[in-house]
Amino acid sequence: MKTAFLNAELVCPKSGVSRGDLLVEGDTIAAIGSFEIPSDAQRIELGGKTLAPALVDLGVFAVDKAACQAGGIARVGLMPDQSPVLDDPGIVRRAALSGKPVLWVHPIAAATRALEGQDLAEMAINASAGARAVATGRGWIASSGMMRKVLVYARDCDLTVVAHAEDGGLTDGTVATEGETATRLGLPAAPAIAEALAIARDLMLAEETGARLHFRQVTTAAGFDLIRAAKRRGVAVTCGITPAHLLLSDIATSDFRTYAHLSPPLRDESDRQAALAAVRDGTIDVIASGHDPRGPEAKRLPFTDSQPGMSGAGTLLALSLGLVRDGLIPIERLFALLAANPARILGLETGTLGVGMPADLVVLDPGAPWQIDAVRMAGRAGNTPFDRLPVQGKVLGLYKGGAPIG
Query: Tens digit of pLDDT for each residue in 331-351?
Result: 999 999 999 999 999 999 999
pLDDT for position 33: 93
> What angle is formed at CA 344 by the lines to CA 339 and CA 346, rounded to 5 degrees?
100
What φ, ψ does residue 121 adopt, rounded to 5°? -80, 170
d(CA 102, CA 80): 21
Region for residue 17 given its phi and psi (left: phi exceeds 0; alpha: psi -120 to 50; beta: otherwise): beta
d(CA 290, CA 342): 13
For the chain, what percent of residues have pLDDT higher than 90?
A: 100
Query: Tens digit of pLDDT for each residue in 2-30?
Result: 999 999 999 999 999 999 999 999 999 99
77, β-bridge pairs: 58, 106
Query: Tens digit of pLDDT for each residue in 194-218?
Result: 999 999 999 999 999 999 999 999 9
Kindly state the helix (H) or strand (E) to which residue 40 belongs, with its residue range.
none
- Give the distance from CA 2 to its chain's centroid: 31
- Average pLDDT estimate for 57-78: 98
pLDDT for position 116: 97
Closest to 312 measured CA to CA, from 381, 390, 396: 381
pLDDT for position 145: 98
pLDDT for position 35: 94
Between the CA atoms of 339, 364, 368 and 46, what dihedral angle is there, to the nearest 10 degrees?
Answer: 160
Contact between 316 and 289 (Cβ < 8 Å) = yes
The CATH homologous superfamily for domain 54-351 is Metal-dependent hydrolases (3.20.20.140)
Measured CA to CA in angstroms, residue 53 lies from 67, 142, 251, 368, 392 at distances of 17, 38, 35, 19, 19
Query: Tens digit of pLDDT for each residue in 243-280?
Result: 999 999 999 999 999 999 999 999 999 999 999 999 99
Contact between 242 and 260 (Cβ < 8 Å) = no
Helices (H) and strands (E) in the chain, counts: 14, 18
Contact between 106 and 60 (Cβ < 8 Å) = no
Q: Please say if the pLDDT value at position 406 is more than 90.
A: no
Query: Tens digit of pLDDT for each residue in 143-179?
Result: 999 999 999 999 999 999 999 999 999 999 999 999 9
CB atoms within 10 A of CB 238: 24
Q: What is the pTM of this model?
A: 0.97
Q: 3-class DSSP state for residue 120?
A: strand
d(CA 347, CA 33): 27
What φ, ψ does residue 156 adopt, rounded to 5°? -70, -25
d(CA 120, CA 207): 20
